[in-house]
Amino acid sequence: MRSEGFFVESCGELYGVRTAFRGETCDEIQDIEVLRLDSSRMLWEEVKSLKAKAFFLGYDCSTSCPAKPEAGILEGSIYFTIREDPSLYCFNLADQSISTSLPCCDLLTPWASPIWVLPNIRLIDRQLEEKDTVDAKAEEKTHGKRVQEKVVTTGACGASGRREEAEESLLLKLPPEILELVFKNLNAIDYIHFRSTCKNLRSAATPLKWRTRLMGSDMQTSTPWFAYFKIDGTTLNVIDPLHNDRYVLQTSANFWDKQVRYCKDGFLIMSKHIQDGIYALNPFTQAIYTIHKLEIDYFWYTCAVGFSCWSPDEDFVFVIISKIGFHEIEVSYLRDGEGWNSIKRKNKTNFLPSFSSPVFFDGAFYCLSQQGGTAIIRFEGNDCVWEVLTKLEKPCKSIHSCFILECDGKLLSVFVGKFGKWVKVFRLNFEAMAWVRVQDLGKYILFVSNVSSFSTIATAPGMENRIYFPRLSCENDNIVFYSLQTGKFHSVGCEDLKDFYGTKELINGGWICPSWSNVE
């Protein structure tokens, strides 16, 4: 793991930007922190917003300028490059996302690190003004025709609106007990859609919170949602990947300085630094739990977090995998509500734990290394055992990210090449002790991210055999998925994607299965 620091002057103030990288070659962006110098107290303060500015980081010089969305310079964004990498990265401070583009795809190697130049755009503005004048004249010629079309369209829309109002009024004439019966038999997504249809139905159907008294299966959605925090720490954005619907949840506490570490059973596991305290939040019920404080001094080496099932008092195992330099692996674990324990083992095989969460499978935790190796954490009585499966060959080389999860009672792994150049899925054959390539997921869908990975059965034709990633298309902000059938990345409403260029990764969030149940 490595970090880089930059100084930026903007509007008479001094900012410091720290970029943190992880991965076997330390080229995967983990986090970006922005600080502002309070000159009166000579203290650095963490910044939540750049307001209407954008930063440009360079190894020779860094600068800032006002945001200009029409020119592609987005508000609150930090643009930067990485040595020996032709890609342009953009970190958005508000939604904690990182987008990647390739502005110059034909660069000859080796190339020098770029420098930022702010050109004089007066000539460009003058050309745009001349173009606007020409467009205005053309607009006048077609104005009359458009007015006629608008009158016709307005009339049609008015008739359609009257029909919709009539249908809504008929629905509201149903007896209250019938309406309530309809409400109770809707799943979470359909219930939210039902309330958003019109104002009258929204008043007739009470908010979702009333459904906490129901603990049946209808409380669960058919697929995981992607939940991520914005920088303010109180706004949780939720995306339904199958419909690309978005919801906003306000949390009862402020988590602006916390990082999402793990997601499972409807809970987000968060912390700033592991030793500062770990919090579990169910954003749907607003339940918050504090997990026992872990006393360690090397939180920056923490690689992965996971637990068996959410039940803090019994049958509960919480594990944290940490790498201490290159010589030791430490597994910290919390069992059945007791205090933390830990074991340290010599890292004889140079196993570098990946940053993706482990999976609890058949009574043990399985995790992957950054090189594609596999390790297991199991409990024998009161003893915790860490074992690297050295006889299990690595299925891929030169991987950039990897994920491990359970699917249909089987243990699967997903490996991704740099910038998404390739995606491969494997199944662990326990008898032969080998990873077997999977070409077809059948009726299943996979949802992968560093903090949580799940599988589910497709509920609609055409949804199966996909892998959903924690990425949005830069074109329309819809979720990006990989189809094993086409061998390409897709996003609803835009052209197929060959790789991760033109997408943005949401780094402070993960897949979560919504749950309106609380564990007391």
pLDDT tens digits along 338-362:
788 899 999 988 898 998 999 999 9
**Residue 520 pLDDT:** 45
pLDDT tens, residue by residue, 288-343: 888 877 766 554 466 789 988 877 666 789 999 988 777 889 999 988 767 888 99
Best CA proximity match to 67, nearest among 80, 56, 82: 56
Mean pLDDT of 366-395: 93
Statement: residue 102 has pLDDT above 70:
yes
Percent of all residues in the chain with a pLDDT value above 70, rounded to a whole number: 76
For 307, the token pair is 């637990």
In CATH terms, 220-512 corresponds, of 2.40.128, 2.120.10, 2.60.120, 2.60.40, to 2.120.10
Mean pLDDT of 63-84: 88
Best CA proximity match to 94, nearest among 280, 286, 256, 272: 256
HEC string of 354-418 equals CCCCCEEECCEEEEEECCCCEEEEEEECCEEEEEECCCCCCCCCCCCEEEEEEECCEEEEEEECH
Q: How far apart are CA 459 and CA 454, in angstroms?
A: 15
**Residue 386 pLDDT:** 95
Mean pLDDT of 203-217: 49
Rg (alpha carbons) of the chain, rounded to whole number: 26
**Residue 168 pLDDT:** 55
Ranked by mean pLDDT, the top range of 36-40, 103-107, 115-119, 169-173 is 36-40
Statement: residue 214 has pLDDT above 70:
no
Query: What does pLDDT average to over the chain?
Result: 82
Statement: residue 54 has pLDDT above 70:
yes
Picking from 94-98, 114-118, 120-124, 408-412, which range would have the lowest pLDDT averaged per residue? 120-124
Count the Cβ atoms, other than its own, within 10 Å of residue 187. Answer: 15
Best CA proximity match to 197, nearest among 182, 211, 212: 182
pTM of structure? 0.81
